[in-house]
């Protein structure tokens, strides 16, 4: 019997388990984000805030893999990681600027 035939289902099961674990972690993060949005949005605009938040997640879930596929097909695949690092750095800088502008009000959002 071929070793690849024997090992392949085990590898698939391990990858499926890792995928499920990651989805559970992401679900926990999304629920915390949704809670923060609901508590900080004006009562009459909570639906709009939630819609905008979920629209952002939906756009990212569709544009991200498409962009990564274009980069992998046409350029060096390492650029997917470089681009992700650049985007995360820009977002971190944005949060830092937001924190400095908001000041003490930022700490009052903590639950």
Residues 75-102 pLDDT 10s = 988 998 898 899 889 988 988 887 787 7
Say if residues 64 and 48 touch (Cβ distance below 8 Å): no
pLDDT reading at 24 higher than 80: yes
Report pLDDT for 101: 76
**Average pLDDT value over all residues in the chain:** 80
The Cα 15–Cα 92 span in angstroms is 30
- pTM to 2 decimals? 0.53
Helix, strand, coil proportions of the chain in percent (round to 5)? 90, 0, 10
Report pLDDT for 86: 92
Kindly indicate the confidence band of residue 3, based on its pLDDT and cuts at 50, 70 and 90: low
pLDDT reading at 106 higher than 80: no
Report pLDDT for 5: 54
pLDDT in tens, 36-54: 777 777 888 888 888 888 8
DSSP E strands in the chain: the ranges are none
Say if residues 46 and 53 touch (Cβ distance below 8 Å): no
């Amino acid at each position: 019997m071929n070793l690849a035939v024997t090992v392949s289902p085990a590898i698939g099961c391990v990858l499926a388990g890792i995928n499920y674990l990651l989805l559970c972690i992401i679900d926990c993060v999304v629920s915390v984000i949704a809670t923060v949005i609901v508590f900080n949005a004006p009562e009459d605009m909570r639906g709009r805030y939630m819609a905008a938040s979920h629209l952002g997640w939906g756009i990212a879930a569709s544009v991200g893999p498409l962009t990564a596929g274009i980069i992998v097909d046409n350029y060096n695949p390492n650029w997917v990681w470089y681009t992700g690092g650049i985007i995360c750095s820009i977002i971190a800088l944005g949060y830092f600027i937001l924190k400095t502008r908001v000041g003490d009000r930022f700490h009052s959002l903590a639950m």
